[in-house]
Structure 1
Amino acid sequence: MAKETGHKLIAQNKKARHDYHILDTYEAGLVLTGTEVKSLRLGRASLVDGFGQLDGGEAWLHNVHIPEYTQGTWTNHSARRKRKLLLHRDEIEKLVKKSQETGHTIVPLQLYFKDGRAKVEIALAKGKKEYDKRQTLREKQDRRESDRAISAAKRRERGR
């Protein structure tokens, strides 16, 4: 069997970029059981309620939903168990310092396979206020409208 290479996306947390200001991102490995890996290979996971926590010099990922493997037996895993994140010591120390500031949290952005290994992209984030979310939406709409106007002008220009 050939070695798996490349980047295969399993799950993405689009709501995190809407709800938080992303300050810094990290790539972390995950400690998983066999049935969790098999379930992920089927492309089934949800990061919506997930968050990271630092405890005793270790990083943990909570509330990430990896459904039970359908062909699993008594060895099957629980869907929302906490999973250990594999990070370098200096990355954990940076996260500990920064996450102690008010309003900072650790959120998972995406879950993927990289060269056959399950990885999660986590971010140090600061929660947005309601008016920040509205402002971001307004900027996105304005950008879209200006792009439309530019492309329409280009089409008219080509038509002449």
Structure 2
Amino acid sequence: MTKKTPTVNTANRLVCQNKKAYHDYEIMEKLEAGIVLLGTEVKSLREGRANLKDSYAKITRGEVFLHGLHISPYSHASYDNHDPERVRKLLLHNTEIKRLVGKTQERGFSLIPLKIYFSQGRAKVELGLARGKKLYDKRESMKRKEETREMDRLRKQRRES
């Protein structure tokens, strides 16, 4: 009788994403960071109960912290539940942090969390180095998106007829 080895799910399982960030910011580069969580926070994330809206990352004293991330309290916890809005530490290499310090001190760059997901059982945050869009940039990107939709619609109609 052969022994079966457990299969490990190496696929990334998305918990939540910040779709509004792509509308409000121009994403220059992306990077992955680990996140320090409590047990009830991990369980709540596995249920998909998180919100990245209005969250941002900030570098203080050589460490990166995530502000404004809302992880709902775990429903089955009793007395030992977490604060939903607490500041959470992100795990990055020192070289990455030093590079980010230089970039964020430039005019107009911010660190914005784009999505939270599980990779090989560990919670990860995808950070985007972003520059805020002006109103006319937002209008232009919406116009471009609408034009591509219209082109796709016309192509589909042409194929069907």
TM more than 0.5? yes
Q: Aligned with 1:147: secondary structure?
A: helix
Contact 1:3 1:116 (C-alpha < 8 Å) held by counterparts: no
Assess if the C-alpha contact under 8 Å between 1:12 and 1:111 holds in 2.
Answer: yes
Which of these residues, 85, 88, 99, is aligned with residue 90 of structure 2? 85
The equivalent residue for 2:76 is 71
1:18 to 20, 23, 28: 23
Deviation, structure 1 residue 32: 0.2
Q: Distance in 2 between matches of 1:102 and 1:73?
A: 46
State the AA in 2 paired with 1:9: L
Share of identical aligned residues, percent?
A: 49
In 2, Cα distance between equivalents of 1:110 and 1:91: 19
* Structure 1 residues not aligned, in runs of 5+: none
Matched position secondary structure for 1:10:
strand
In structure 1, what is the equivalent of residue 3 of structure 2? none
Between the two proteins, the alignment pairs up a number of residues equal to: 156
Give the Cα separation in 2 of the matches to 1:2 and 1:41.
Answer: 19
CA drift at 1:89: 1.0
Q: Deviations over 1:100-156 (max 9, x none)?
A: 111111100000001100000001100000110010000000011011112212222
Amino acid at match of 1:85: L
**For 1:26 and 1:5, how far apart are their aligned partners in 2?**
19
Match of 2:147 among 132, 139, 142: 142
TM-score relative to the length of structure 2: 0.93
- What CA distance in whole angstroms lies between the structure 2 residues aligned with 1:141 and 1:56? 44
- 1-structure distance, mates of 2:137, 2:153: 24
Q: Secondary structure at the match of 1:17?
A: helix
Show structure 1 runs of 4+ deviating over 6 A.
none
Q: Distance in 2 between matches of 1:137 and 1:38?
A: 37
- Specify the alignment match of 1:95 in structure 2: 100
Residue 77 of structure 1 aligns with an amino acid whose one-letter code is H
Q: Helix, strand or coil: the match of 1:112?
A: strand
1:122 paired residue number = 127
The TM-score, its normalising length taken from structure 1, stands at 0.94
Distance 2:130 2:145 in 1: 20
User: Structure 2: which 5+ runs fail to align?
Assistant: 1-5
CA distance in structure 2 between the partners assigned to 1:70 and 1:106 by the alignment: 31
Are 1:51 and 2:56 an aligned pair? yes
